Structure 1
Amino acid sequence: MKSRIVVLICWLVTSVSAVASGIPAHEFFLKNGMKVIIKEDHRAPTVAHMVWYRTGAIDEVNGTTGVAHVLEHMMFKGTKTLKPGEFSARVAALGGRENAFTSKDYTAYFQQIEKSRLPKVMALEADRMANLLLDKKEFEKEIKVVMEERRLRTDDQPIPLVYEALNAVAFTAHPYRHPIVGWMDDLQNMTVEDARAWYERWYAPNNAVLVVVGDVNPKETLALAEKYYGHIPRKAVGNTRPQVEPTQRGIRRVTVKAPAENPYVSLAFKAPALRDVEKDEEVYALDVLSAVLDGYDNARLNAKLVRTDRVANSAGASYSPIGRGPALFILDGVPASGVTTEQLEKRLRDEVERIAQHGVDEGELKRVKTQLIAEQIYKRDSTFGQAMEIGMMELSGLSHRDIDRIIDKLRAVTAEQVQAVAQKYFSNDNLTVATLYPLPLEEKKATPMASLRH
């Protein structure tokens, strides 16, 4: 199940000022084009330091899918001054923790550190922005690690296999159809030159956002940014073509066969993404609709399908409107014993139709919005959470300054708006259905067969 924690990671967020000290974030640009966002939070003597690159799986092309993620791995494999693995060892020696992640829309690197160690991690991060070494032998070892990661997290996991197939069918032209980790054949044929070309094309200060949140002074932190990042020359960063998804003209289905304990079904409806915070009113109503269905323990899907009617072992709804590409509204569930996936598919759609026909009452709407906002306030009560929030907004084409306004818009959603989007976006013409057909768990794992019907 996709949880609200995952889906709303940068959505329904409370403002940084409400979470922490009430001081707004400071925004600067270095002369080389690097954007710098600094947020003070003096509750603890720690700092979250993040560098976000505006490149991810969305920028990849057929034949080299997964290269953004592969380069993320290679960023830890040495520079002109550091040996492979030395970056992580130095951060650990400073008492900090660090990691990185690649998404469809961006790639980010972070360290959490005691505040006096900030200059040292800035120096380390700036070094690999400018001086990464891509050694063929190190690449050949690391590409095997990535392939094994794909086997463990996708090929041997039934639900990730379903979502991989779902995206591949829901999107016919847009690169969101590709998995972030890449298709296995592309990984098997990837070379160190592919990774080097990606680094040279996208890893530049003018294609990056530096986010620093914690017990810092903005002027002093900006001076550090200028010292460590300001000398790195800007590049002529390429643009990714839009690859607009064609209009869907009917229901699409995919069946995945894989060893699993239970069947599973996921319904993905094309829905609008957030592009204009002021004008895209339907986005806010769709997010509230998702919360009405699956925003808390006693939300409609769990209360009706799991607890009362017992037609599902689990049932959920999710919607993630913030991103560089198109959005999906997803309903999913595991049918109870004796219930088919077709029957559960109908029951999931019935719950949306019930809202389309009868709406939601004001009491339920108020509970849902209060719950969601309170949940986000709790989850963002950390320097790292605030840095994540700022970075994801910025790298998705929005601004961290939009956060307060988004909350205002969500608070203003009416019952009539929720009913209207339930009526508008859940037709067959917008729908892709992915179904897991469980094979015996003891069966030897082989490459799953997926039959695609458009």
Structure 2
Amino acid sequence: MTFAIFSPMKMPFRRLALGCVMAVSLAAAPALAEKPADTAPQSFSLSNGMRVLVIPDHRAPVVTHMVWYDVGSADETKGKTGLAHFLEHLMFKGTKDVAPGEFARIVDRNGGSENAFTSYDYTAYYEVIASDRLPLVMELEADRMANLRLTDEVVYPERDVVLEEYRMRIENNPMSALRQKMDQALYGPHPYVRQVIGVKKDVEGLTREDARAFYDRYYTPKNATLVVAGDIDAEDLKPLAEKYYGVLKNRAERIEHDAPPVKPLAKSVREVVHDKRVGEPVWLRTYLAPNYVALSPKEGAAFDVLGQILGDGTTSRLYKALVVDQGIAAAAQSWYSGGRRDSGGFGFYAIPRGRASFADIEKSVDAVIGNLLKNGVTGEELKRAKTLIEAGSVYARDDQKGLANAYGSALMVGVKPEIVHDWPSYVKQVTAGDVMEAARKVFDGTHYVTGELLPEEKS
């Protein structure tokens, strides 16, 4: 099991944004103009309030079945952090009719694969399997939505597993320490400030009763969304969904999110981490930015195009300036991330080369941003950025699981399915002026958080 974090601060080598998912997975390059009409999403609700979304794709007799719960680490209470991720682990520990670990074995015996992930804003469980086995995985997921068994014998050993995961991913990772300090400066009192896996002291104290209360409150049909992509239509899925999920009773009402707002920074902040395990210095910078829900679809697409022009790939301004022309960086990248419920962000990443210092990196990054704000983007840059975004989609559309994930993650943060489906048209509409408006919102007179990861200082 994994916990997926849609944050640029978690994986600096990739542009992990909902818009990236939408643009890459769903943007219609010319080769996709002849896609079947039935690829448009189809949605309906069950009698108990559970939402259902279908993305037909009849190219192969395979389906991706996902159940999304509208709860993530940002919804946890103080002192009980880590519950969302902990319960993700426990969901594989069995029900009255399915023994611990048997869920995965059943899926595997039927030629499928399964997994789950937790984010700040949601938790999701998925299976990829032959379409004639869809009723099987629906029955399994419905069973553990309603009948999860939590005993001391499974809860506390699994808590030890999570703590080991914490040691491996957080305590043994110097970059994680820097991210934590930067997030604290960037998000203030908002729950995005902490790791999805939780605060170690809190995780150590989680009990079976905590897990059961969390499960009963959030793992209920009204707080769940079923997304199925693949060889099926809404007409065929609806009776199956009613049979397996529609009969489940709600244990609670739909969640109301009440996290404090993410406020603009009053000043720029610098965070530094020295660690003997660091092999090469890393420089980071993050700005707050609007998320997709706060923007019109065209404005959101403009932020994606800005990210592409400024720092995505070897043709970007940042890469050409720092890596190719000046030779002061071994790697350089920037990205826009708009796929969280409560905030978006824009990040920068660079590894100095040779004797270049962080001061050299910062000076050049500021020059690239300043040149953009002063002189704008060219028609050639705009065209290339759109082409690159669309070209990637030609291959990404073959990833059925990616389609299900794109739509599901969009729904969880408040983006409507029709916006995801029509995203290519918004990318095509973006003008140079739109890109500049996005750039000014992020960079013009705003503050940011800088991070420096360095080897341990010599005494």
**Could you state the TM-score of these two structures normalised by the residue count of structure 2?**
0.91
Say yes or no: does 1:296 pair with 2:313: yes
Residue 199 of structure 1 aligns with an amino acid whose one-letter code is Y
Any idea what the Cα deviations from partners look like across 1:261-297, whole Å, max 9, x if unmatched? Answer: 11111111111111156x3654332221111122232
Q: Is the 8 A contact 2:15 2:336 kept in 1?
A: no
* Equivalent in 30, 37, 52 of residue 22 of structure 1: 37
Any idea what the Cα deviations from partners look like across 1:129-174, whole Å, max 9, x if unmatched? Answer: 0000111221111111111112212221223332232212211121
- Paired with 1:67 and 1:120, the residues of 2 have a C-alpha distance of 28
* Equivalent in 386, 389, 393 of residue 372 of structure 1: 389
Q: Is the 8 A contact 2:310 2:317 kept in 1?
A: yes
Matches within 5 A, 1:33-432: 33-234=49-250, 235-258=252-275, 259-275=277-293, 279=296, 281-426=298-443, 429-432=446-449
Give the CA deviation at 1:347: 1.6
Q: Using a 3 Å threshold, how does the CA distance of structure 1 residues 424 and 231 change in structure 2: closer, same or farther? A: closer
Give the CA deviation at 1:231: 0.8
Higher mean C-alpha deviation, range 288-297 or range 305-314: 288-297
- Paired with 2:294 and 2:446, the residues of 1 have a C-alpha distance of 25
Give the CA deviation at 1:437: 2.0
Q: Is the 8 A contact 1:266 1:331 kept in 2?
A: yes
- Paired with 1:311 and 1:342, the residues of 2 have a C-alpha distance of 11
Give the CA deviation at 1:391: 0.5
Residue 253 of structure 2 aligns with an amino acid whose one-letter code is A
Give the CA deviation at 1:84: 1.0
Q: Using a 3 Å threshold, how does the CA distance of structure 1 residues 217 and 248 change in structure 2: closer, same or farther? A: closer
Q: Is the 8 A contact 1:274 1:280 kept in 2?
A: yes
Q: Is the 8 A contact 2:76 2:84 kept in 1?
A: yes
SS of the residue 2:21 aligns to: coil
Say yes or no: does 1:10 pair with 2:21: yes
Give the CA deviation at 1:427: 5.1
Give the CA deviation at 1:257: 2.1
- Paired with 1:177 and 1:355, the residues of 2 have a C-alpha distance of 30
Give the CA deviation at 1:5: 5.4
- Paired with 1:3 and 1:9, the residues of 2 have a C-alpha distance of 13
Q: Is the 8 A contact 1:356 1:420 kept in 2?
A: no
Any idea what the Cα deviations from partners look like across 1:354-389, whole Å, max 9, x if unmatched? Answer: 111111110111011110122133213232121111
Q: Is the 8 A contact 2:313 2:333 kept in 1?
A: no
Higher mean C-alpha deviation, range 308-317 or range 432-441: 432-441
Any idea what the Cα deviations from partners look like across 1:408-450, whole Å, max 9, x if unmatched? Answer: 2222222123233333422564311121122289xxxxxxxxx
- Paired with 2:33 and 2:160, the residues of 1 have a C-alpha distance of 45
Any idea what the Cα deviations from partners look like across 1:212-252, whole Å, max 9, x if unmatched? Answer: 11112432211111101111112223423131123321112
Gaps of at least 5 residues in structure 1 are: 442-454
Q: Using a 3 Å threshold, how does the CA distance of structure 1 residues 405 and 115 change in structure 2: closer, same or farther? A: closer
- Paired with 1:19 and 1:140, the residues of 2 have a C-alpha distance of 53
SS of the residue 1:223 aligns to: helix
Higher mean C-alpha deviation, range 417-426 or range 249-258: 417-426
> What residue is the counterpart of 2:8 in the other structure?
none
Any idea what the Cα deviations from partners look like across 1:62-94, whole Å, max 9, x if unmatched? Answer: 212211011000000111211110111111111
Residue 11 of structure 1 aligns with an amino acid whose one-letter code is M
Q: Is the 8 A contact 1:323 1:397 kept in 2?
A: no
SS of the residue 1:411 aligns to: helix
- Paired with 1:223 and 1:233, the residues of 2 have a C-alpha distance of 17
> What residue is the counterpart of 1:449 in the other structure?
none
Q: Using a 3 Å threshold, how does the CA distance of structure 1 residues 75 and 232 change in structure 2: closer, same or farther? A: same
Q: Is the 8 A contact 1:173 1:246 kept in 2?
A: no
> What residue is the counterpart of 1:447 in the other structure?
none
Q: Using a 3 Å threshold, how does the CA distance of structure 1 residues 266 and 357 change in structure 2: closer, same or farther? A: same
- Paired with 2:230 and 2:81, the residues of 1 have a C-alpha distance of 36
Residue 145 of structure 2 aligns with an amino acid whose one-letter code is M
SS of the residue 2:280 aligns to: coil
Higher mean C-alpha deviation, range 25-34 or range 1-10: 1-10
**Could you state the TM-score of these two structures normalised by the residue count of structure 1?**
0.92
- Paired with 1:170 and 1:141, the residues of 2 have a C-alpha distance of 35
- Paired with 2:449 and 2:26, the residues of 1 have a C-alpha distance of 32
- Paired with 1:294 and 1:87, the residues of 2 have a C-alpha distance of 42
Q: Is the 8 A contact 1:264 1:333 kept in 2?
A: yes
Q: Is the 8 A contact 1:21 1:42 kept in 2?
A: no
Q: Is the 8 A contact 2:27 2:389 kept in 1?
A: no
Q: Using a 3 Å threshold, how does the CA distance of structure 1 residues 276 and 169 change in structure 2: closer, same or farther? A: closer
Higher mean C-alpha deviation, range 329-338 or range 295-304: 295-304
Alignment RMSD: 2.1
Residue 353 of structure 2 aligns with an amino acid whose one-letter code is A
- Paired with 1:18 and 1:200, the residues of 2 have a C-alpha distance of 45
Q: Using a 3 Å threshold, how does the CA distance of structure 1 residues 217 and 247 change in structure 2: closer, same or farther? A: closer
Gaps of at least 5 residues in structure 2 are: 1-10
